[in-house]
Amino acid sequence: MAISAALVDDLGEPVPLTGPARRVVSLVPSLTEALAVTVPDRLVGATDWCTHPAGLDVPRVRGTKNPDRSAIAALAPDLVVCNREENRRLDVDRLRASGIAVWVTVIEAVDEALASMRRLFAEALDLPEPGWLTAAAAEWARPVPAPPLRCAVPVWRDPWMVVGPRTFTGDVLARLGLVNVFGAGENRYPHVSVDDVLAARPDVVLLPDEPYLFTADDGPEAFPGVRSVLVSGRALTWYGPSLATARADLLAALGAR
């Protein structure tokens, strides 16, 4: 297939491909998993933070915020896949300046994740929609559970940070029938105190295992009198193949609402 000269990423930036990308470096753990599950032969590099699928064996190019651009160039990729939130614009600009095609995704909601990945696979890779993506779309089209529950979702402690507005995780929460008590305001990941969380009167505090590794002994004790639920950070924040099972997994953790 000849790729359209008008091919653009989610930011509307041109992506100079002349054919389907055959050698792809991913700087986003979610997209690394999506590529590794769907087209493992095309994934030639990933970050140190790309932990799925288990046993992933590709060259590593450092982290999402400090990728080794020389190592990326040495892999001779047709395409580098990035995300506006997870990767720095500086690195994207420098990769493009060196002549490497870059596709930047913008994902702040479940529907955006589904649409973005459909475009990536169809337009940049010339592939039909993967089965896991079709399954994910069907799962997240299910009715929102009721009644609504008020929730807070810390993602870090010392200092405490929580999920705020205009985030992918925030949309996941809404689709689970949860009302984020920090879902308004300007800051997408506001710094808060424990007193702020308690004053917001959540019905439940969700404690994911990433980016901060909350455990039964590290997290729930900070919110006495409030139900705390340990959940998979991958189910709550990743938008690759885990989307196909994340809804059921999170509802099960909440008590199968």
Beta bridge partners of 227: 204
Whether this model's pTM surpasses 0.85: yes
Judge contact between 230 and 21, C-beta under 8 A: no
pLDDT at 2: 46
Residue given tokens 């997209």 in the structure block: 31
pLDDT at 257: 56
Choice among 4-18, 64-78, 101-115, 223-237 with the minimum mean pLDDT: 4-18
* CA nearest to 119, candidates 25, 11, 41, 26: 11
Enumerate the domain spans of the chain: 24-129, 149-253
Q: What is the CATH number of domain 149-253?
A: 3.40.50.1980
Choice among 3-17, 169-183, 185-199, 243-257 with the minimum mean pLDDT: 3-17
Which of the following CATH numbers is that of domain 24-129: 3.10.450.630, 3.20.20.70, 3.40.50.2000, 3.40.50.1980?
Answer: 3.40.50.1980
d(CA 6, CA 88): 24
Q: Which pLDDT tens digit goes with each residue over 113-166? A: 999 999 999 999 999 999 999 999 999 999 999 899 999 999 999 999 999 999
The token pair at 28 is 């986003």
Please determine whether the domains at 24-129 and 149-253 fall in the same fold group of CATH. Answer: yes
d(CA 99, CA 96): 5
Q: Which pLDDT tens digit goes with each residue over 29-63? A: 999 999 999 999 999 999 999 999 999 999 999 99
* CA nearest to 120, candidates 39, 234, 238: 39
End-to-end CA distance of the chain: 46
Residue given tokens 């999920």 in the structure block: 163
With 90 as the cut, is the pLDDT of residue 178 above it?
A: yes
Task: Compute the CA torsion angle 5, 7, 13, 15 (nearest 10 deg).
Answer: -80
Work out the pLDDT band at 1, boundaries 50, 70, 90: very low
Count how many residues are written for the chain.
257
d(CA 209, CA 192): 19
Judge contact between 149 and 205, C-beta under 8 A: no
Q: How far is CA 177 from CA 171, 174, 180, 232, in A?
A: 10, 5, 10, 17
Pairing of strands 161-162, 154-156: antiparallel
